[in-house]
Amino acid sequence: MNNQLTYAMIGGGSGAFIGEVHRRAIALDGSASLVAGALSSTPERSMESAKQLGLPKDRSYRSYEELLSKESVRTDRVDFVVIVTPNDSHYPIAKAALEAGFHVVLDKPSTHTSGQSRELAAIAEANDLLCCVTYNYTGYPMIRQARAMIADGQLGDIRKVFVEYHQGWLASDLENSGQKQAAWRVDPERAGLGGALGDIGTHAENLAAFVTGLELESVCAQLNSFVPGRQLDDDASVLMNYAGGAKGVLTASQICIGRGNGLSIRVYGEKGGLEWAQENPDELTVTLLDGNPTIYSRGGPGLHDYAVISSRIPQGHPEGYLEAFANLYRGVADSITKKRAGERPTRLGELLPTIRDGECGVRFVEACVESAHKGCVVAL
Amino acid sequence: MNNQLTYAMIGGGSGAFIGEVHRRAIALDGSASLVAGALSSTPERSMESAKQLGLPKDRSYRSYEELLSKESVRTDRVDFVVIVTPNDSHYPIAKAALEAGFHVVLDKPSTHTSGQSRELAAIAEANDLLCCVTYNYTGYPMIRQARAMIADGQLGDIRKVFVEYHQGWLASDLENSGQKQAAWRVDPERAGLGGALGDIGTHAENLAAFVTGLELESVCAQLNSFVPGRQLDDDASVLMNYAGGAKGVLTASQICIGRGNGLSIRVYGEKGGLEWAQENPDELTVTLLDGNPTIYSRGGPGLHDYAVISSRIPQGHPEGYLEAFANLYRGVADSITKKRAGERPTRLGELLPTIRDGECGVRFVEACVESAHKGCVVAL
Amino acid sequence: MNNQLTYAMIGGGSGAFIGEVHRRAIALDGSASLVAGALSSTPERSMESAKQLGLPKDRSYRSYEELLSKESVRTDRVDFVVIVTPNDSHYPIAKAALEAGFHVVLDKPSTHTSGQSRELAAIAEANDLLCCVTYNYTGYPMIRQARAMIADGQLGDIRKVFVEYHQGWLASDLENSGQKQAAWRVDPERAGLGGALGDIGTHAENLAAFVTGLELESVCAQLNSFVPGRQLDDDASVLMNYAGGAKGVLTASQICIGRGNGLSIRVYGEKGGLEWAQENPDELTVTLLDGNPTIYSRGGPGLHDYAVISSRIPQGHPEGYLEAFANLYRGVADSITKKRAGERPTRLGELLPTIRDGECGVRFVEACVESAHKGCVVAL
Amino acid sequence: MNNQLTYAMIGGGSGAFIGEVHRRAIALDGSASLVAGALSSTPERSMESAKQLGLPKDRSYRSYEELLSKESVRTDRVDFVVIVTPNDSHYPIAKAALEAGFHVVLDKPSTHTSGQSRELAAIAEANDLLCCVTYNYTGYPMIRQARAMIADGQLGDIRKVFVEYHQGWLASDLENSGQKQAAWRVDPERAGLGGALGDIGTHAENLAAFVTGLELESVCAQLNSFVPGRQLDDDASVLMNYAGGAKGVLTASQICIGRGNGLSIRVYGEKGGLEWAQENPDELTVTLLDGNPTIYSRGGPGLHDYAVISSRIPQGHPEGYLEAFANLYRGVADSITKKRAGERPTRLGELLPTIRDGECGVRFVEACVESAHKGCVVAL
């Protein structure tokens, strides 16, 4: 908990949801200290939010441009920049930050087009900078256990993946009630091509890729807008073809009344199957061919090192969403520290989702939208 | 438990699985008495099985033809005939039985082609005969509760249905080990066009239709044969379009290691959602918009009459698969009794799945196979 | 399903709950045929009920005395007698039946006093007659699996047992509303010394004994009557000491609003633990020291022969209360058939609960009532 | 997240488990900043740990005495002191800290004797100082919801409480393997009178009191030491009598193989019942008389303000042990801030467990030990 690293936040001012999640996740492990910010899109609200968060005056910036230019020339410049603005501004800000030489952490989905993500990736890679995209569900210890078991061949060749992400909170036209979180998500200008697909479908797509290591080749998608007046999908179903012959079914929906944050994944291979659900994240059920289901749990016996290092407290003492999120930031801190020292990242760093994963996510959305429009299979 | 009705069984001799299920289900409520049979496809095994079951000698028949011709002329002829032979013989036997004037109960899927089912339906309807197809999962009390709540408008217009039927027992090539149940299911001659799709996918299709009352308009299907050497699908994923705009996702798979008999359904409407899983059949979770989930249970408070009459014992004393199956036979007995008396069937009879439902099931398989082959949406 | 055995029922006429459960359980497997009865305590209602059940006129008896005397002298006399009258008449009827040379199946709790049960046991044993007490929860396949695993030493020496039986249906004074099932249970004349303790606590006590094989040495009990006006306990908590040093906690309550039929057992030994709950009876969770929980399920892999023979249908097709109950009757039929043939009973017969178990149950109630009254530990 | 408050930690140096939990819990919400410490019982290890945590040199103390005397005279003295030393030193340190005028947060169980806790309470109250005892499970939002619903009369008068705390990690003699956490817990010198009873039984006792508001009058306890060589109990069962006639059963055990951190509570009143389990903390099941179970969840609809303010992120995004723990520290920070301002504490402060609760917990252990020794009921 020795805060040697420092960070700046762009976006995430008062009233924002995800900015606070990032700050708490960083604070939980003391991965870094927040010392600078341009917290809103208007100068006044930026300064007001900075004051509320207790930022030093000289590092409370009025715009991201000001932040990047002034931090660039400080000797104690921040180690990394966290970008939690609305989706539509991710690309220019991330680009500017990377070009200014900062490591970047970017909320997902990374950008509006996959080309933009590809471009960011190229800049980051050319400059040996971190550009992490917060696919936070990959931070759950038992998801990392699942990944390790599959990579280790314990399920054999993977045949089929079922991944779903079902919520119910957009079952009515909440966007017309003044709910800010709903409003931007259903607005193509701010959200991009995908509604539920972009907001949560990309988490599901990424989770399947992270757990199985499979590469998506093509999709056949159906997109629905059930709530009258919606322009973007609030429900998506996708049949997926992976390289090597594995198949997948992904469903993402925000009209499932009764579902809170129902992300789950089930993977079946020739030698075994596994099942995990985000609302009960500390457990992973694994069944080998001709055997009985075994329940692995965070902090319990028989875990892979990837799961062990992603856990803080003993078995049966629940960790949750913030802890999983915080595992990404431990990886960020670890990676930056190792880079500085000229060393290779440790396992926490290896597991970090990057802008390349973000690119895959945006490409997935693009392909699904095209498939749904044309009524046919579309290659990625 | 007053066995006034009698029945004959065709198929279901020693070693058969489903014949014994039917007999137990009928016996559980004393819905009818087994008094005659042509229990196997060979005369010797038919007579041997009849002896084992204690059938009277003069009603132990060597073939279904003999059974139908001799029972036809008895004054105490059986009230109905149960056909539990392999799929490929359903059509000729059922046709002969109906033409001989017997009420018929037919295992699902009803016939190899939807045209055959349509023909059986026409004969049954022309002669005022029952031709029930045993979509047994419709017999679960909480499924009937779900149907009643939706029909009553409690969920509002239905938007989306997720129905899945996942098993793991065919994840390896069990058919090559001499396992009889596996062998016929993977053989196109005996099983028909669909593998997992026909065997369990049709149960899922029917369950969705029964619960929601929606009519299927078109499908987009992906069929997979994961186990090397299989000719028929062992895994199927289907995107479904219902009349009126509702959508569905159906997955049926027999390679999901760790899954026993994982049939489940989730239905979401504009005003609420519900969820049910066959392995925990006595519970139904219902959530209304802006409310918390409520767990209805068999024998508990607040149930519709359809659920009440489908239950035998108090809340918390589990009923299962056989009890649900037996509910169909209570409906059969009830319908026949009412027909005789010239009365309308009661609710137990109204809920009976018929050969028209069987026709839908076979048509569903045909359309999915065509869709998977052509790679496009196919209308039913 | 060849009904070679026949039985008579005493009690269980129209309106009775448990009589019908017994009849269905026997019918499910065709363990025996009901051919005679004295179904009620008044001659008129006995005859009326017999007619409803379709019993032959000459075997529809007006009283149990008539039944026993007339059946005794028939050449086709029934093989066994099922006694499902109110608790207070169990003793005289069972005694008369045994003295008339009939095998007896007796609903639990066997008798009002443990001395009466001891006496019945002596008669049965002296005459080589079966006197089974229907502790029906011992019929669940996964309970039999638990018993076999513990007997086999897989959990090591047993240290602690938690058994509970919680219901909510008597949380209000249902007995004053005319509910027949409630009325006799709260009436000391008919129910005996124990309320919840006798009605369901004895099931819990027996289940713990059946699963662990441990012998109860002494108890310290607290009995409560929460609903105003109740004379008998509607809630009981018992600390139990077993021979050899194992300890147990048993709670039985009928005022737990929200609980249907919440019987569960958890057993912990030096080498492992197991958990089972009646409302999800097809699963048994077992954890060995330093291992992860494994879920055994009915019909699944790795089961002991005792569990295998107690199951009818494949994994994932739920069996329930009636199927478990029916397993006792398969044992009864098996035992009688073997006795006739001069052979030893098979495993189904070995597992049958007898009047000796009934005696333990009544002695348990007596000791708990004494302990609660005196406020101290009481030996059994 | 504006760290206006500061704190010092006594104990909790490298290798300690609970000290880090406290630090993370405080950091999660930025409730206060760690600025001083005496982190170990030896000066060298204290200084080493302080360095690891990045404490300023002039506030890295060699002993708690030094910390208290030097901090006392600073103008920027810490706002509160967190004491996370082994149980046996709680009393002298807390006394000294309170006498030096610091607000205190004390790990549970507060002291070795109830008299010591009473003394601390008197000092704290006389000086208007906070002396919080970290019964952290009271911090769970759904536990606070349960408390609010009961206080509001929604369950009617409470009749029965079942509270259990079952773990399996001490099922073998881990203390002889060098495991530090195990070693002190089984040592009467360091742990006090109770083993499992003191370590986890007091959490259960407190949880029942917090949720129901009931006052414990007397107990009848059975204490067991199953693992050979243990001096203290590793398993405890307690029958409890509350003022006003309610009854309770508390079981605490550390030999339950397969159980991680199985704390659960079930409360039944005349009008309803509720159930909660710590390993699934975001849900609370409530059933009203003659109704169906309803599942309340953190972040979901229909919650009391006490639950709402104790939650950070939306429904379905799991919060866990650390978040619940952190809720106590938000209450601590809130209370101190309000005290300074001369205002009454807000709800977060009202809910804080105090040294009076700690006193009840120690008294509970004392009474149980006496009851188990004497074999009779003992009043508190």
Residues of chain C with CATH 3.30.360.10: 140-314+360-379
| HEC-encoded secondary structure of chain A | CCCCCEEEEECCCCCCCHHHHHHHHHHHHCCCEEEEEECCCCHHHHHHHHHHCCCCHHHECCCHHHHHHHHHCCCCCCCEEEECCCHHHHHHHHHHHHHCCCEEEECCCCCCCHHHHHHHHHHHHHCCCCEEECCHHHHCHHHHHHHHHHHCCCCCCEEEEEEEEECCCCCCCHHHHCCHHHHHHCCHHHHCCCCHHHHHHHHHHHHHHHHHCCCEEEEEEEEECCCCCCCCCCEEEEEEEECCCCEEEEEEECCCCCCCCEEEEEEEECCEEEEEECCCCCEEEEEECCCCCEEEECCCCCCCHHHHCCCCCCCCCCCCHHHHHHHHHHHHHHHHHHHHCCCCCCHHHHCCCEHHHHHHHHHHHHHHHHHHHHCCCEEC
- Among chain C residues, the shortest Cα distance to D268 is held by C256
Asked if the Cβ–Cβ distance from B321 to C315 is below 8 Å, we say no
For range A300-313, the mean pLDDT: 97
User: Which subunits have 3 or more CB–CB pairs within 8 Å of chain C?
Assistant: A, B, D
- Among chain A residues, the shortest Cα distance to B267 is held by A256
- Among chain C residues, the shortest Cα distance to B263 is held by C316
* Tens-digit pLDDT profile for residues A124-143: 999 999 999 999 999 999 99
Residues of chain A with CATH 3.30.360.10: 139-308+360-379
* Tens-digit pLDDT profile for residues A32-53: 999 999 999 999 999 999 999 9
* Tens-digit pLDDT profile for residues D27-54: 999 999 999 999 999 999 999 999 999 9
Residues of chain B with CATH 3.30.360.10: 143-312+370-379
Q: Which residue has the higher pLDDT, B293 or C344?
A: B293
Q: How far is B118 from chain C (nearest CA, A)?
A: 30
What pLDDT, on the 0 to 100 scale, is given for residue D178? Answer: 84
Instruction: Give chain B positions within 8 Å (CB) of C262.
Output: 316
Asked if the Cβ–Cβ distance from C237 to D249 is below 8 Å, we say yes
Let me know: does A156 contact A212? Beta carbons within 8 Å: no
* Homologous superfamily assigned to A139-308+360-379: Dihydrodipicolinate Reductase; domain 2 (3.30.360.10)
Let me know: does C42 contact C71? Beta carbons within 8 Å: no
Average pLDDT, chain C: 95
Chain C residues near any Cβ of chain B (below 8 Å): 1-4, 17, 20-21, 23-24, 27-30, 34, 52-54, 167, 169, 259-262, 278-282, 297, 299-300, 312-323
Q: Which residues of D276-286 are buried (b: 16+ CB within 10 A; e: fewer)?
A: bbbbbbbbbbb
ipTM of this complex: 0.96
Select the residue of C292, C296, C297 nearest A302 (Cβ to Cβ). C292
Least confident of C70-74, D175-179, D223-227: D175-179
Low-confidence ranges of chain B (pLDDT < 50): 1-3
CA dihedral over B110, B113, B114, B118, signed as positive or negative: negative
Let me know: does D319 contact D299? Beta carbons within 8 Å: no
Closest residue by Cα to residue C59 from C6, C136, C101: C6
Which pTM value belongs to this model? Answer: 0.97
CATH architecture of residue range(s) D139-314+360-379: 2-Layer Sandwich (3.30)
Q: How far is B176 from chain C (nearest CA, A)?
A: 20
User: Which subunits have 3 or more CB–CB pairs within 8 Å of chain B?
Assistant: A, C, D
Whether A191 shows a pLDDT value over 90: the answer reads: no
C-alpha dihedral (A193, B221, B18, C145), degrees to nearest 10: -40
| Residue A148 CB neighbour total at 10 angstroms | 18
What pLDDT, on the 0 to 100 scale, is given for residue A1? Answer: 41
What pLDDT, on the 0 to 100 scale, is given for residue B180? Answer: 81
- Among chain B residues, the shortest Cα distance to A254 is held by B268
- Among chain A residues, the shortest Cα distance to D282 is held by A279
Q: How far is B362 from chain A (nearest CA, A)?
A: 23
Q: How far is C291 from chain A (nearest CA, A)?
A: 6
* Tens-digit pLDDT profile for residues D119-169: 999 999 999 999 999 999 999 999 999 999 999 999 999 999 999 999 999
What pLDDT, on the 0 to 100 scale, is given for residue C1? Answer: 41
Select the residue of D159, D164, D235 nearest C226 (Cβ to Cβ). D159
Least confident of A192-196, A342-346, C40-44: A342-346
Instruction: Give chain B positions within 8 Å (CB) of D292.
Output: 294-297, 300-302
Asked if the Cβ–Cβ distance from B171 to A226 is below 8 Å, we say no
Asked if the Cβ–Cβ distance from A260 to D297 is below 8 Å, we say yes
Confidence of residue D109 (pLDDT cuts 50, 70, 90): confident
Asked if the Cβ–Cβ distance from D316 to A260 is below 8 Å, we say yes
* Tens-digit pLDDT profile for residues C30-48: 999 999 999 999 999 999 9
Select the residue of D23, D260, D314 nearest A316 (Cβ to Cβ). D260
Confidence of residue C369 (pLDDT cuts 50, 70, 90): very high
| HEC-encoded secondary structure of C337-353 | HHHHCCCCCCHHHHCCC
Asked if the Cβ–Cβ distance from A160 to B253 is below 8 Å, we say yes
Give percent of chain A with pLDDT exceeding 70: 99
What pLDDT, on the 0 to 100 scale, is given for residue D283? Answer: 98
* Tens-digit pLDDT profile for residues A60-80: 999 999 999 999 999 999 999
Q: Could you identify the residue written with the tokens 């995107």? A: B239
* Tens-digit pLDDT profile for residues B1-35: 444 899 999 999 987 889 999 999 999 999 999 99
* Tens-digit pLDDT profile for residues D286-333: 999 999 999 999 999 999 999 999 999 999 999 999 999 999 999 999
Closest residue by Cα to residue C129 from C95, C155, C156, C152: C95
Domain A6-133 has CATH 3.20.20.80: no
Residues of chain B with CATH 3.40.50.720: 6-133
- Among chain B residues, the shortest Cα distance to C258 is held by B300
What pLDDT, on the 0 to 100 scale, is given for residue A327? Answer: 97
Domain C140-314+360-379 has CATH 3.40.50.620: no
- Fold category of B143-312+370-379 in CATH: Dihydrodipicolinate Reductase; domain 2 (3.30.360)
- Most A CBs within 10 A among D279, D280, D283, hence the mutation to make, goes to D279
Asked if the Cβ–Cβ distance from D253 to C160 is below 8 Å, we say yes
* Tens-digit pLDDT profile for residues D240-257: 999 999 999 999 999 999
